[in-house]
Structure 1
Amino acid sequence: MPPSVDHVRSVTEAYLARHPDERESLTLLFTALAAADDPTNRKTFPAHVTCSAIVINGARHVLHIVHKASGKLLAPGGHNELDDRHLRDAALRELHEEAGIPPSAVVPLSGFEDVPLDIDVHTIDANPSKDEPSHHHVDFRWVFRLGAEHAVTLQEEEVDGYEWRPFTSAASTTIHSKLALLP
């Protein structure tokens, strides 16, 4: 069973308790949560929830992968699936699928066990081959520390490469600024 509306709402409210100034930027999420359709389903438009894993290694570098579909350097992540009971589960599954890092190799950063580091809303272009209109992803970005060095094994169907980048060079400006606040 995918993450429930109550779970998504609870996680969102916990996040907004830390970042109350971001409530307005999540209007599309609240609209999706109030609608009849499953907000975690990839076919829910105009917006649906996705999840990403922000992985930090011992050198305080962040894992980025190159997604084939977009050519962009991003955190491992993607759509929720039916077996993802919680949002964090989807991020961990995507990390394992795209980068070969199993959930057992990472631990949530202290204080972020049940709250994402960031929630980002971004536009996805229409994809006629998948019968998808232009829409928005509301990406819950979970932060993890790599417990021990672990080889990155890329999912060749979706990923072209990877980089470990210093916090200051994180591809996302919101991630960069939130990581900079960590001890």
Structure 2
Amino acid sequence: MADQTRYTEAVDLHLVLRDREGRIALGRRRNTGWMDDHYHVPSGHKEINESASHGAVREAKEETGAEIKPEELRLVHVMSHYTTAGRCALFFEVTRPEWNLTNTEPDKCDGWEFVAPDALPDNIVPYAAAALSHISKNINYSERGWEKAR
């Protein structure tokens, strides 16, 4: 019998939605039980039998109402990180002159606002802040939090 724990690492999908000034869409989490009152980019988990690009498109629609095509996505960062378990986080960027974002999950988010990357709020999800810093430096891969797994 195959080891059932062998392929259990989650894939997290993140969207770095930029406007014409390069500002990034952030929403403040609420009522989720994880990092509430912290800002984060639109994100979610890849589902079984779903490609990463289609999952990112789905998450954009579910969280912001934005219609994005897979070919608009640009993979800008991959993070191997450990929070409560091992995770692989993919960060996709989409830049448009304007966005008309809707808070489609008001029970989980206070709304979307565009923030300059050099003026991120102090209460941003730490691994997202790290990834955005790496992206600004054109660093495509990072690792974070694995000391907790040992």
Match of 2:142 in 1: none
Q: What is the distance in 1 between the residues matched to 2:6 and 2:109? A: 27
Given the alignment of the two structures, is residue 76 of structure 1 paired with residue 42 of structure 2, yes or no?
A: yes
Compared with structure 1, are the counterparts of its residues 151 and 141 closer, same or farther at alpha carbon in structure 2 (3 Å cutoff)? same
Match of 1:55 in 2: 17
1:161 aligned counterpart, secondary structure: strand
Q: What is the distance in 2 between the residues matched to 1:163 and 1:141? A: 18
What number of residue pairs does the alignment pair up?
125
1:89 aligned counterpart, secondary structure: helix
Compared with structure 1, are the counterparts of its residues 180 and 61 closer, same or farther at alpha carbon in structure 2 (3 Å cutoff)? farther
Please report the TM-score for the alignment, with normalisation by the length of structure 2. 0.68
Cα deviation code 1:95-120 (max 9, x no counterpart) = 1111111115x933xxx3xxx21122
Aligned-pair identity (%)? 15
Q: 5+ residue gaps in structure 1? A: 1-34, 125-133
Q: Of 145, 161, 180, which residue of structure 1 is paired with 2:111?
A: 161
Amino acid at match of 1:98: E
1:60 aligned counterpart, secondary structure: coil
Runs of 4+ in 1 over 4 A off after TM superposition: 35-39
Q: 5+ residue gaps in structure 2? A: 139-150
Match of 1:150 in 2: 99
Cα deviation code 1:25-83 (max 9, x no counterpart) = xxxxxxxxxx76685xxxx3xx3111111111111101111222222211101111245
Alpha carbons 1:66, 1:74 under 8 Å: kept: yes
CA apart distance, 1:121: 3.6
1:151 aligned counterpart, secondary structure: coil
- Which one has more relative contact order, counting CA pairs under 8 Å at least 6 apart? 2
Alpha carbons 1:98, 1:158 under 8 Å: kept: no
Cα deviation code 1:109-139 (max 9, x no counterpart) = xxx3xxx211224444xxxxxxxxx323321
